Amino acid sequence: MDQRIAPGVPAPPGLFSVPLSATRRGARLARLLATEQLRSWELPLDPARLVVAELAANAVLHGRVAGRGFRLTLRLDPPSVLRIEVADTRGDRLPVPAPAAEEPGESGYGLLLVGELADRWGVRCGPVPGKTVWAELHVPPRR
């Protein structure tokens, strides 16, 4: 997949980044594009596409600002780490995972799932005015 990080600037190998609309359709497109990128890198689809789906859905549900989208970034760090980042424009709403003993509400399972599937995950401030939720997965080394 020939992706560009800016018009006329090709992405370096092992990097995929795309802006998407903060809509249900944008979240679905994030999962579909991630699936195709994982295939092109010859990586297993799961659990990465499940993590992308959850983080993108959270960006749409909890990180949405009218008229602004979110950015999906996949980065393959040799030899075997896939970093998934979803950046939205709501820096004032940081995700807080429910304690393991506490039962999540009706829609509180996304980050619990990410926590179970990812080797590490977290949140960082930025790009301003937003936040980036990230997850890292160990993947088989590329051939």
Kindly provide the b/e burial profile for residues 84-112, where b requires at least 16 CB atoms within 10 angstroms of the residue's own CB: bbbbbbbbeeebeeeeeeeeeeeeeebbe
Q: List residues bridging with 16 in a β-sheet.
A: 74
pLDDT higher than threshold 60 for residue 22: yes
Residue carrying structure tokens 């075997």: 80
Is residue 52 scored above 70 in pLDDT?
A: yes
- So what's the pLDDT on residue 83? 98
- Cα 112 to the center of its chain, rounded Å: 15
Q: How confident is the model at residue 91 (pLDDT cuts 50, 70, 90)?
A: confident
| Residue 114 to residue 75: CA distance in whole angstroms | 17
Contact assessment for residue 86 and residue 58, using Cβ atoms and an 8 Å cutoff: yes
Mean pLDDT in residue range 91-111? 66
- This prediction has a pTM of 0.85
